[in-house]
Amino acid sequence: MSSKEKYKNFIKQIPKEVTLIAVSKTKTAEEIMELYAEGHRDFGENYVQELISKYESLPKDIRWHFIGHLQTNKVKFITPFVHLIHSVDSLRLLQEINKQGEKINRSIDCLIQIYVGNEETKFGLNLDEVKDLILMFEEKKHSFAKIKGLMGMASNTDNEIQIKNEFNIIKDLFVSIGESKHCKMEFLSMGMSSDFNIAIQSGSNMIRVGSLIFGERNYIK
């Protein structure tokens, strides 16, 4: 099946209120354009250099979501055009996004990446760190970096109960933060190819799906 057919089959099962981010890392501009031709506009990328070259060569109405680990020294390259940064995992990064947004007078929407799984390699903040970050952020006035929600990943396991528990922890935090002076929880970004169904059941309204639509990624160039 082509990516276009996989996409058409996939999007049918997704509730209207859930935004599908098609994760296009390692995929070509041509593969992205197949979905674009079907009307899809939200694409997710993990690497700054790859995102920039795709941004430059593809239509400007694409909404680019940055979902990978972001180094502070690279923030300035994506702030002019990025639609939503899903992977904010420190106050320092948030402050840098604010600073770069201010320079170009553009608000940058951000999600805080929370870590709940049991794998050591994943980036993100734990529950208390997320709360602290939001409190610290609330104290100062940051007009350009906007906190719009949370992003999280469940452990890479077949244990659906564990996945569901992890998503529910993120969802509960999302609900409990709710709305405050400078931030309003709007987007809950949870769920990938292997667990998007469980994520949607747990209240996700943004899923990030790559291999189910584009096929397996081949990292060997």
Ligand X SMILES: *Cc1c(COP(=O)(O)O)cnc(C)c1O
User: Applying CB under 6 A, which residues contact ligand X?
Assistant: 23, 25, 46, 67-68, 192-194, 208-212
- Coil, helix or strand for 139? helix
Residue closer to ligand X, measured from CB, 139 or 158 = 158
| 46/54 Cα distance (integer angstroms) | 12
Residue closer to ligand X, measured from CB, 6 or 8 = 6
Distance in Å, CB of 114 to ligand X, minimum: 12
Q: Are 212 and 193 in contact (CB under 8 A)?
A: yes
Residue closer to ligand X, measured from CB, 146 or 208 = 208
163 exposure class (CB count in 10 Å sphere: 0-12, 13-18, 19+): buried
| 82/75 Cα distance (integer angstroms) | 10
Residue 113 β-bridge partners: 151
Distance in Å, CB of 30 to ligand X, minimum: 18
Using CB positions, name the residue nearest to ligand X. 210
Distance in Å, CB of 195 to ligand X, minimum: 9
Distance in Å, CB of 166 to ligand X, minimum: 14
Distance in Å, CB of 3 to ligand X, minimum: 12
Alpha-carbon dihedral 190, 191, 197, 203, rounded to 10 degrees: 0
Residue closer to ligand X, measured from CB, 8 or 99 = 8
Residue closer to ligand X, measured from CB, 50 or 138 = 50
Pair of tokens at residue 31: 């593969």
